[in-house]
Amino acid sequence: MSSPSLQSQKGMRARHTRIVEGKEVKIHSWDGPDDKDNPFNWSPTYKWVLTVTICFISILTGLPAGSYGAGNELMATRFNVQNEPFPNLYWATCSWNIGAALFPLVFVPLTENTGRMPGYFVAYIIFELFMFGSAFADNFATLVVTRFFGGGASSVSINIVGGSISDVWKGDKARSLPMSLFGFTSVAGIALGPFIGSAIVQIHKPPTGLESPWRWIYYIQIIYNAALIPVFYLILKETRGDVILKSRAHKLRKQTGRPIYAESELVKESVIQMLKVSFMRPTKMLLTEPVVIFFTLWISFAWGILFLFFSSVVQTFSASYDFGTFQTGLIQLAITVGAVIGTVINPFQDWLYLRTAPKNTERPGKPIPEGRLYTSIPGSILFTAGLFMYGWSSTQSVHWIVPTIGVCIVGVGIYSIYMGVVNYLTDAYEKYAASALSAASLGRNLFGAFLPLASYSLFQTLGFGWAGSLLGFIGAALTLVPIVLVFKGREIRARSPFMLESTFDEAEGEERKGSVAADRSV
């Protein structure tokens, strides 16, 4: 083992000096392009172990969003809450999604400075603690409040996953499969919830008291989530490069007594300023950027349907086929099957995207952002078709497998839309990608919170067929969003103030501005 002095000498390479507040300080950076501490240089085996682990966290923290509804009948009796004709019990899922919409805006940006790992573990532990609160709730108000904080903590964990993948996988091609897996777990984690919950409530326990099956939905998740915390602690390590350099610089200061600092330590941005930017920029983009506005509507409607299915599938299949809680939970596995199909297809989408590089005149050799949308257009059409199929086939005269296939097709569409939005906004906004994604996340979680409140009345009043058709018509209209972007994307990007400033390539930014000036002179 090398001595501390030799480690110090090695750590002092690849540094330059800078004058900070009248004093000369040494800037600590990576020890060349092959530095083993650089997450991009970690072994492929460990990168995959880390990626699978954090995607598994995405599934675990997403499950309670949908598993809650399996205990509706028991909770309605316990809390004396009327669930028809208005789904009052859904307020606890509504609060979950509101927390999921708001918490990432506040806490995810902080992980850029504090590191991903503290973000994961703090959010995960808070998520676990509020699961306790839900499990032992004595009244419905407690359930609503605890699920607000549980949903917020869950969403923070899930939102950090994408950042961690970007930390360790360098380049579009390398990130392709990991991001595809993350997209799957983002959808499947929520979609698996009804099945998990319905399976747990089959446990033969007294219907009331602390042994009630609806409480066991929480007990079992609390147990396996708690048991996995030490496993995650042993597997995971910090992925944020700036934070790793900061930690190394701190050790070198202690060893040598010299003023050695990482670049990120010298950029002092207050927490208040960071939070202000994390709130203000996504809000501004959501109000002024047409691409962000319409992409947010597109993904938000799809996300709202994902949560609407939690109640509408129970409603349609119990009325048409006399299915019970566990059977409807099995039906909702079709969404996950759809997400699996979407994940299998996604490498083809990435291949199409990479093939656009030779056609890019703005940045030769780099794929065109609109190439991210090629399969999301048929995906969005499938999403619409699945809604029509689900609505009109949910009758006793049609075998139950037909509307189930409709649900599966909708699942394919949700996955395709999700991946199209995430990848396009990341490519098109580059430096401001986090803000654009935050705006879309805010919208989709709010739709997930409130759209399902209309589920019972919608399907009851219009009938299953026309309710599905109404949703299908909205989905068809929103399919125009990616179609317009594919054909007019370059012109739209040339007119967007945020996109003009967001590129890391200054030459492309100037070319975009020149395109705007040329168009205005015509």
Task: Give 63-109 pLDDT, tens digit per residue.
Answer: 999 898 888 888 988 888 887 788 888 899 999 999 999 998 888 87
For residue 314, the number of C-alpha atoms closer than 13 Å in the C-beta half-sphere is 24
Q: How many CB atoms lie within 10 A of CB 393?
A: 22
Q: What is the pLDDT of residue 282?
A: 85
Q: Report yes or no on 265 lying in a domain.
A: no
Same domain for 431 and 351: yes
Of all residues in the chain, what percent carry a pLDDT higher than 70? Answer: 91
Say whether both 363 and 486 belong to one domain.
yes
pLDDT at position 502 is 62
In 3D, which of 499, 493, 501 has the Cα closest to residue 519? 493
In a domain, 11, yes or no: no
Answer for the pair 242, 112: CB distance below 8 angstroms, yes or no. yes
Residue 25 DSSP symbol: E
Q: Identify the band that residue 12 occupies on the pLDDT scale cut at 50, 70 and 90.
A: very low
**Residue that is last in its domain, among 189, 218, 237:** 237
Contact 180, 347 (CB under 8 A): yes
CATH of the domain at 471: 1.20.1250.20
pTM, entire model: 0.87
**What pLDDT is stored for residue 337 in this prediction?**
94
Percentage of residues of the chain with pLDDT beyond 90: 43
pLDDT(517) > 50: no
15 found inside a domain? no
Residue 232 and residue 321 share a domain: no
**Of 219, 237, 255, which residue sits at a domain end?**
237
Question: For residue 187, what are the domain limits?
Answer: 31-237
Same domain, yes or no: 353 and 210: no
Structural domain count of the chain: 2
**pLDDT at 56 > cutoff 90:** yes
Q: Is 228 exposed, middle or buried (0-12, 13-18, 19+ CB in 10 A)?
A: middle
Whether residue 306 is found in the same domain as residue 433: yes
pLDDT of residue 3: 46
Can you tell me the mean pLDDT for 344-368? 86
Q: Are 109 and 278 in contact (CB under 8 A)?
A: yes
Residue 290 has pLDDT above 50, yes or no: yes
Residue 359 resides in a domain: yes
The confidence score (pLDDT) of residue 19 equals: 66
225 and 286 housed in the same domain:
no
- On whether both 229 and 276 belong to a single domain, the answer is no
Q: Does residue 23 lie within any of the structural domains?
A: no
- Band (pLDDT 50/70/90 cuts) for residue 130 is very high
Q: In which band, very low, low, confident or very high, does the pLDDT at 506 lie, cut at 50, 70 and 90?
A: low
Are 230 and 283 part of one and the same domain? no
Tell me the CA end-to-end span of the chain in Å, nearest whole number: 70
- Answer yes or no: do 116 and 37 share one domain: yes
Whether residues 339 and 203 fall in one domain = no
Give yes or no for residue 1 having a pLDDT over 70.
no
Identify whether 429 is part of a domain.
Answer: yes
Same domain, 211 and 357: no
d(CA 188, CA 168): 23
Q: Quick one: 196 and 97 in the same domain? A: yes
Q: How confident is the model at residue 284 (pLDDT cuts 50, 70, 90)?
A: confident
Which long-range contacts (C-beta less than 8 Å, at least 24 apart) are formed by 165-168?
165/51, 165/54, 167/39, 167/116, 167/239, 167/240, 167/241, 168/39, 168/40, 168/42, 168/47, 168/50, 168/51, 168/239
